[in-house]
Amino acid sequence: MKADPFEKPWHGLESERTPALALANTLDWRLREKPIELLRDYSELVRWARSVDALEPTEARALRAWAEEHPRAAARVLAEAIEVREAIAAIAGALMKGRTLPSAPLARLDQACHAAHEHRALRPGGTGARWVWRDPSPDPHRPVWAAALDAERILTSADAARVRQCGDAECGWFFLDTSRNKSRRWCSMEACGNRNKARRFYKRAAGRGGH
Q: Is 84 in contact with 23 (CB distance < 8 Å)?
A: yes
Q: What is the CA radius of gyration of the chain?
A: 19
Query: Minimum CB separation from Zn ion for residue 168, in Å?
Result: 4
Q: Which is nearer to Zn ion, 115 or 191 (CB)?
A: 191
Q: Summarize as ranges the residues that interact with Zn ion (CB under 5 A).
A: 166, 168, 171, 173, 187, 192
Q: Which is nearer to Zn ion, 15 or 43 (CB)?
A: 15
In 3D, which of 146, 116, 139 has the Cα closest to residue 53?
Answer: 146
| Distance separating alpha carbons of residues 79 and 112, to the nearest angstrom | 13
Strand (E) or helix (H) holding 105: helix 103-118
Q: Which is nearer to Zn ion, 59 or 168 (CB)?
A: 168
Query: Minimum CB separation from Zn ion for residue 132, in Å?
Result: 35
Query: Minimum CB separation from Zn ion for residue 152, in Å?
Result: 25
Q: Which is nearer to Zn ion, 151 or 171 (CB)?
A: 171
3-state secondary structure of 82: helix
Query: Minimum CB separation from Zn ion for residue 101, in Å?
Result: 23
